[in-house]
Amino acid sequence: MSRRGKSRQKLVEEFRDAVRGLPPSEQNGASESERQWQQRRLELRRLILEENPENFLQWPFLYEIMIYQPGFSELEALMKMPDWETYWRKGIEESDVGNPKHCHWYSRSSPNLIHQAYVLSRFTERTGRRIEEFETVFEIGGGYGSFCRLAFQLGFTGRYLLYDLPEFLLLQRFFLKCLGYSWKESAEVSVGTQGVIVGAGDREELERLVRLKQGPSLFVSVGAITDTPLEFRTEFLSRVGRFDAFLVFFQERFREVDNVKWCEEFRRSRPDFSWQEWEDPLSPEGPVRWRFCIGLSAGNL
């Protein structure tokens, strides 16, 4: 086995040990969505322990819950950006970690990574701000860590803070450490620490995570916060405090919740921001459409 193979296998063992060390998942969620996420957590634990994590991007389960499959139109939109060749093209270079399925129409990348770059490119196009201009990025519901990877590939050098369910946070840690990024615990981050990723999987850790924000900060949610109960959103947003910019990509409805109405109320609660909200013209046909909500504080205009 090569040195790289041994290192990857060590990370697999670390990953599985961390999952085994998690407390039992509760089975008594108050709402249907909570019970559904509890089942997803259990299924992810099972896959990590029984299947090969080095092939996690081949697991159908992840395609059902977090991997977006756009058409060629999103890549086409990226290629029309004036800095496609010098900026976006390098950002969507896919790796072999997780054994991802590459695009048949652009073999250097994967559909999910292209989609995330497309979402970020709309923020850049509308605000004139690139992600590396921020010192802190705070993402809720980080998937398997791909948006974080995109940020660093585009030149981000600050602190990337991730908040998610414990099993998914461990998946992100595995993916990003396999790529060679620096994952730290909050206690390991000192005043001048940059270029690091820090995660939190519960409310106590969230408090420590929020204290690590520094400089201009961007809040990111790609189909995450709007897939949570309204009570959670209110409490969570009050805990994480102020940001200088928001990038929220969301479905118009979450079960019985009208997310368009919620987004309107959210924007009204922050009148010191310049807001833009619109339906994604490339949103797949279906009963529920996707939308963008982008905000920039008055001091950053």
- Going from N- to C-terminal start, the domains of the chain cover 3-64, 70-300
Model pLDDT, residue 59: 97
Low-confidence ranges of the chain (pLDDT < 50): 1-2
Model pLDDT, residue 187: 86
- What amino acid is encoded at 227 in this protein? D
Condensed to tens digits (0 to 9), the pLDDT of residues 93-139 reads 999 999 999 999 999 999 999 999 999 999 999 999 999 999 999 99
- What amino acid is encoded at 188 in this protein? E
Model pLDDT, residue 300: 64
pTM (two decimals): 0.94
Model pLDDT, residue 137: 98
Model pLDDT, residue 6: 60
The 3-state DSSP composition of the chain as helix, strand, coil percent (nearest 5) reads 50, 15, 35
Q: What is the CATH number of domain 70-300?
A: 3.40.50.150
Model pLDDT, residue 1: 41
Looking at the DSSP bridge assignments, the partners of residue 251 are: 290
Neighbours of 7 (CB within 10 A): 14
